[in-house]
Amino acid sequence: MKALGALDRITAKDANVKIMEQALETALREKPLWFFTNIVMPLLPKETRAAVEAGDRVIEWRGLVGVGSVGES
């Protein structure tokens, strides 16, 4: 647990967030399909992944940060 706490503190620093944002944007621009499959898909709820993989309906995209926010019904 201490290692996770350290990782959380390190990644929460403004300078490191900016570095991660730049690296993620670079990866997205260079390999969009790889980015979606390896970065976005693991963050999605299982039900959403199943629907995307099945391809049988249109999926409404909602920002990851806003989904499941406190106070949402």
DSSP secondary structure string for all residues of 11-54: HHSHHHHHHHHHHHHHHHHH-HHHHIIIIIGGGS-HHHHHHHHH
The predicted pLDDT at position 23 comes to 97
The predicted pLDDT at position 38 comes to 94
Residue range 4-14: average pLDDT? 94
Identify the band that residue 54 occupies on the pLDDT scale cut at 50, 70 and 90: low
The predicted pLDDT at position 64 comes to 65
The predicted pLDDT at position 65 comes to 67
Instruction: Flag whether pLDDT at 68 surpasses 70.
Output: no
The predicted pLDDT at position 55 comes to 66
